[in-house]
Amino acid sequence: MWAAVFPGQGSQHVGMGRFLFENFKSTQLLFEEASDSISTDFKKLCFEGPEEILTLTENTQPALLLVSTATHKAFSETCGDSLKAVAGHSIGEYAAAVAAGSLKFSDGIKAVKLRGQAMQSAVPVGTGAMLAVLGLEDEQVKKICKWAEVESKDAPLEPANFNSPGQVVISGKKTVTDWLKNNFKAEILNPPAKRTKFIELKVSAPFHCSLMKPAEEQMKKVLTGVPFEKAQLPIVQNFDAKETVDGDAIREKLIRQVSAPVLWTQCINRMKEMGLQNLIELGPGQVLSGLTKKIDSAHFKSFNITSLDDIKNLEKNIKNDR
């Protein structure tokens, strides 16, 4: 069975969506609708950048929703209604809600613009940070976050993205992330950690931790007035890694995921339990396909759409699978 996953922040790049715009009328109409909705020239933003403007959170989030939705439309027009479930990583969950028929695209594009602004303004620039932690198990990451808070007498530092086994992103105050990088000792874990690596991420705010509570409150106000219909496909959501079709529940989990960790490994494992085997990454980049391979390469086949040929090949694969 086939499912779609929609990428999050970090997958954006200048030029994304261009081949869709050149080949699909539906993409041109979506670009026009998005540009009119929030007074942004998305053609210029996505195709020309510059990168530093595209990577501003308030621009990245609507741009990703736009290109991911355009990719889904192009896929559906070519391959038909072959999906049995959807999921999205962080901001990608909005594209999943649009694809599942729960959220209108025009409502979504306005909401994610405000989400980007709310998350950016939740903490002063430079006071938060995110670190990718490589080489530790999930429980070990939780332990070192607590240890760093106690020993540094500062907080918060919390798991933000459970991306794959051995790759967890943590988020919090920059003073605590800096302290952890400088003071971490393998011996604090039992058994001691052998190969642990910390990589500071280039982000403008500490996403998916308790510092985002002000942004969560703002999104509650924004989304309370937005209609969410019953989804036509189950959405496996970041907040609890459970499939959801009820509109009110989808809205509530979208609100709560702003300051909660993204349970991506758990979402992919849940999709396995649901009998899904073929995951198509609908949106720019191949980040989620890479994570899927790390989570369970024996079970899943991953597919990307980065060209017209990719869509044609998918069409053949899906026909052969029927």
pLDDT at 203 exceeding the cut of 90: no
| Average pLDDT across the chain, whole number | 96
Mean pLDDT on 52-81: 96
* Confidence category of residue 173, pLDDT binned at 50, 70, 90: very high
Phi first, then psi: what are they for 104, rounded to 5°?
-70, 140
Which amino acid, residue 158? E
Q: Which residue has the tokens 């540094």?
A: 152
Catalytic option among 90, 171, 259, 289: 90
The residue-averaged pLDDT of 58-73 equals: 98
DSSP per residue, 28-48: HHHHHHHHHHTT--HHHHHHT
pLDDT of amino acid 125: 87
Active site residue 106: no
- Specify the pLDDT at position 274: 98
Burial class of residue 198 (count of CB atoms within 10 Å of its CB; 0-12, 13-18, 19+)? middle
The predicted structure's pLDDT at residue 193: 84
Structural tokens at position 149: 């808070």
Give the C-alpha separation, 188 to 124, whole Å. Answer: 32
299 noted as active-site residue: no
Domains of the chain: 2-122+211-321 (3.40.366.10), 128-203 (3.30.70.250)
Average pLDDT rounded to a whole number, residues 203-230: 97
Give the C-alpha distances (Å, rounded to integers) separating 211 from 34, 48, 70, 208, 223: 30, 33, 32, 8, 20
Q: Output the CA angle 137-138-139, nearest 5 degrees.
A: 95
Helix (H) or strand (E) holding 173: strand 167-173
| Active-site choice (72, 208, 259, 289) | 208
Of how many residues is the chain composed?
322
**Containing H/E element for 3?**
strand 2-6
Amino acid 194: pLDDT: 84
Question: Contact 74/27 with Cβ under 8 angstroms?
Answer: yes
Across 111-120, average pLDDT = 96
- What are 158-168's pLDDT values in tens digits? 999 999 999 99
pLDDT over 80 at 131, yes or no: yes
Residue 248 has, within 13 A of its CA and on its CB side, a CA count of: 0
Average pLDDT over residues 227-251: 99
For the segment 103-132, the average pLDDT, to the nearest whole number, is: 96
Q: Over the stretch 179-191, which tens digit does the pLDDT of each residue have?
A: 999 999 999 998 8
Residue 317: pLDDT band (50, 70, 90) is very high
**Best CA proximity match to 308, nearest among 22, 15, 5, 96:** 22
What pLDDT is stored for residue 202 in this prediction? Answer: 85
Whether the pLDDT of residue 322 is over 90: the answer is no
Average pLDDT of 255-277? 98
Least confident range from 60-69, 192-201, 220-229, 291-300: namely 192-201
H/E stretch holding 88: strand 83-88
What burial letters (b/e) apply to 285-306, b meaning 16+ CB within 10 Å?
bbbbbebbeebeeeebebbbbe
